[in-house]
Amino acid sequence: MAYYMGRREGHASARQEVGPPKKSHEDGGEGLKIQLLISSLGFGGAERVASLLANAWCRMHHQVLLTTFDSPQADTAYAVDSGIRRVSLDLYRPSSSILNAVTENVKRILALRSSIKEFRPDVIISFMIESNVLTVLAAVMLRTPVIVTEHSDPYQIPRSRIWRCLRFLTYRNASKIIVLNERAREYFSSHMGLSAEVIPNPIFVDSQNRHCAEDESKRRVIMGMGRLDEEKRFDLLIAAFITLRNKHPNWDLLIVGEGPLKTRLTERCREHGLGERVKFLGVTKEPQKWMQRSDIFVLSSSLEGFPMALCEAMACGMAVVSTRYHDGVNEIVENGVSGLVVPIDDLDAITDAIDALMSDANLRKELGDAAKRIVDRYGIEPVMQNWQSVLVQAE
């Protein structure tokens, strides 16, 4: 294992810890000792949440250890406070067979168990299904409360029958199950006979990234953000833009993200002569700066858990269009009030909604102003208050 503090300039040798000496919880260190476990800190919604929670607990004077399965050299997509201890288990690699997968997961469990025994946390919080299963197994007989968090729609993820079975068996030993909406809570109650608690993901928006008044002299921008794969349906967003491009010649399309469909999507744009009007930005560590420069945010997905990009766009004051990826969207967007909601996989509906916003600056402002109120429910402070009560119960 490799230990390092905050954002890393290099990496330490195995089991070498860098930074200020540890405070012993028994010796008067302030707050709780909280160990967070996630596969990596690359780009992604759960990774963004893990960094936000870790930073918030660090500011609240808890001792935070952020544990990942990736290598010490792996990029960190989101800023981590310098007071947070990091440990990399360096066990994040693809498996070549079922036997190899079992072997690698046993290694992860043993390494994680060793890390837990060394840090002696008051509570462990894990993120995403595979990490949740491994964390519960690693903590067996250690008497440390484990809180597992679900960041996908449990009705559809995981698709693997093996991981569904493992989730069913292991979650019974978790101290708490945290889900993001009522739909997910109903799943665990009705399908698994387990109680879960709803705590939405926290949203943090830098005040300088609030959406400002539109400059009539500049070109307008539609923004989409996410992994470029089948579930995000960027092909639908591009098709809608192709339909509307001549009607709205002053508008461009910005797509933020990377993924396996990038080549196919860029080729389609070239085929329709959109090379200058559609920009593929790739991944960025500062998505809110691009939200501040854009006018409309579109979530075209057919599958989501809790769409962080959509929520951050709303918090920035953008007018948004979202598919009804499942009923949980109603907890985020009030159709016609704080955004526009359309059926999934419906090209005509998403085209009409985008067209309505492109055509009406007053509507964009009205929806964007209402969207900003999302921070009243999902801002850092209210979400951390919910987490505080969970930590008190689990301790």
The predicted-structure confidence for 158-172, as pLDDT tens digits, reads as follows 989 999 999 999 999
- Name the maximum alpha-carbon separation found in the chain: 69
Residue matched to tokens 């070239």 = 270
Output the CA–CA distances (angstroms, integers) from residue 370 to 11, 142, 339, 364, in the order listed. 45, 47, 8, 10
pLDDT digits 0-9 by tens, 108-154 = 999 999 999 999 999 999 999 999 999 999 999 999 999 999 999 99
For Cα atoms 127, 170, 77, give the angle at the middle one, nearest 5 degrees. Answer: 15
CATH topology agreement for domains 2-202+379-394 and 207-377: yes
Tokens at residue 262, please?
């990038």
Write out the two tokens for 101.
């997968």
φ, ψ (nearest 5 deg) of residue 16: -100, 125
Question: Quick check: bond before 158 cis, omega within 30?
Answer: yes
Contact predicate 66/78, CB 8 Å: no
Residue 65 neighbours by CB under 8 Å, 6+ apart: 33, 34, 35, 36, 84, 85, 86, 87, 115, 119, 121
Q: Which of 26-35, 277-286, 334-343, 350-359 has the lowest mean pLDDT?
A: 26-35
Amino acid at site 44: G
* Cβ-contact 324, 334 below 8 angstroms: no
pLDDT for residue 211: 59
SS3 123: strand
Q: What pLDDT is recorded for position 73?
A: 83
- pLDDT of amino acid 44: 86
Give the predicted TM-score (pTM) of the model: 0.84
Percentages helix, strand, coil for the chain (3-state, rounded to 5) are 40, 15, 40
Average pLDDT for 338-367:
98
Q: How many CB atoms lie within 10 A of CB 219?
A: 11
H/E element holding 343?
none
Tell me: the pLDDT tens digits for 332-343? Answer: 999 999 999 999
Say whether pLDDT at 178 is over 50: yes
360, β-bridge pairs: none
Cβ atoms of residues 148 and 178 within 8 Å: yes
Please report, for the chain, the start and end positions of each structural domain, with discontinuous segments joined by +: 2-202+379-394, 207-377
Distance CA 218, CA 289 (A): 16
Domain covering 207-377: architecture: 3-Layer(aba) Sandwich (3.40)
For the domain bounded by 2-202+379-394, which CATH number is listed?
A: 3.40.50.2000
pLDDT digits (tens, 9 = 90+) for 249-270: 999 999 999 999 999 999 999 9
How far is Cα of residue 327 from the mean position of the Cα atoms in its chain? 19
